[in-house]
Amino acid sequence: MTQRKIAMSPDKKIALVAHDNKKRDLVEWATFNRELLAHHDIYATGTTGAILEQELRFPIRRLQSGPLGGDQQIGAKIVDNEIDFLVFFWDPLEPLPHDPDVKALLRMAVVWNIPTACNRATADFMISSPLMDDEYHRLVPDYAEYRTRTIEGGQSSGSGDVGVGDFDQIRHAALV
């Protein structure tokens, strides 16, 4: 698959997300790195965003709480190139009722090749990278080939959207 470059400006669009048992860690990390974060556009989910705004004393673009769709909102922003960088302190020891949303968010971060930190050590290395305050071009597979691939039956999938008439063809193909 061919690659294409997506530019990330020196002022990054950073999503900060933390599960309940990890909020304190994220707030401590963000407070320690306040000066480094201050010139970037910061997004956060629900309660995490409220706490960060209070502690950091600069505007945070607050989205829904994770279980109420915030994780999916961030995933959509990654797809739309509105998030460049994800710091997601999730709790691997706590069962989550919205675990599919968490997996979907992490999947989008990988699919769209954005830097992702899931713990404090990785976040420290990423925020202190010389690439952090420079323009950076990340490589992303050119998904145009995937979107226009031929599916069973010889038809192009076009945009990737399935039309109403396509369901009859799919159902027929499954029965044959």
Annotated catalytic sites, by residue?
A: 71
State in Å, rounded, how far the first CA of the chain is from the last one: 32
The helix (H) or strand (E) run that includes residue 108 is: helix 99-111
3-state percent breakdown (helix, strand, coil) of the chain, nearest 5: 45, 20, 35
Neighbours of 132 (CB within 10 A): 17
The encoded tokens of residue 136 equal: 């950076």
Q: In what order do the strands lie in the sheet with 13-18?
A: 61-63, 41-45, 13-18, 85-89, 116-117
